[in-house]
Amino acid sequence: MAPLSLLYVMTTIATSVMATALTTPYVQPSGCTSAFQLTTITTSFLNTPTTITVLASDAAAPDFSACQPSGWDSGSTTDLLTFSPAVCPQDWTYQEMSSTKHYSAAYCCASGFVFRAPGYALPTPVLSPACSRTFKSGETTITAPLASNTDIMGTFTEGMIVHRAWHVSWAASDTASMSPSLPPLTSGKYLATWEPGEVIADGMYDHHNGNNSGVGGWSSLIYFAAIGVPLIGVALITCGGWLLCRKRRKRRAQQVPVNMELRAK
């Protein structure tokens, strides 16, 4: 299956003309934790129900818009936080960066977050596609309103923080006016993650040259080890069995005249 961003970019291009351009990294104002709300979700692990505390960004929160760039809500609900031509916010990581012949696209997640939350039912569909980060007890303390009653504040000390991923796209002709400099993405290139400043050598991560791993030569070796070696083993066993049967038949053919001669006497 093709990477999600590679499939999604084509449907995004149709609306990208209307999308807000962000050619330099957006810097989110401080104090934007009020745009998050505390809730819980219940999942099952080995048939044992588990309740997880979730600090989720909420587009319905009063301060949410103040923490987003202008145009974040242009278009339909599925187009929230979609920008073009655009780069990811400051200190965020590019996720599932991919390209077609004319356009490139990526999702953006805050530093330390991974693209797509674990297999839990998210508090609201508006969070999808999501970025998530899991915190253990003692790693952080965040005060935020409760989703069930925003007039009451709660404290997040462990669990999962989730925010909606940005979706950015651009054409090759846009890169000259964008900062930071983005890696050249030839058609078919795919990077699981990329951080500004990371150098991508020519040919790395290019699916069209048969190298899907991003490390020259390793993909061919992996395929040979996974497919070629077992096939060679089967061929050797088959050939060995055929030679053994042939040898036995030849030996029997040589013994038949001798046995017949003994019986004749």
Residues 6+ apart with CB under 8 A from 229: none
pTM of the model: 0.68
Give pLDDT tens digits for 146-164. 888 888 999 999 999 999 8
Residue 219 has pLDDT above 70, yes or no: no
Task: List the domain boundaries for the chain.
Answer: 4-209, 217-265
Give pLDDT tens digits for 15-62. 444 578 999 999 988 877 668 889 988 877 677 888 889 999 888 777
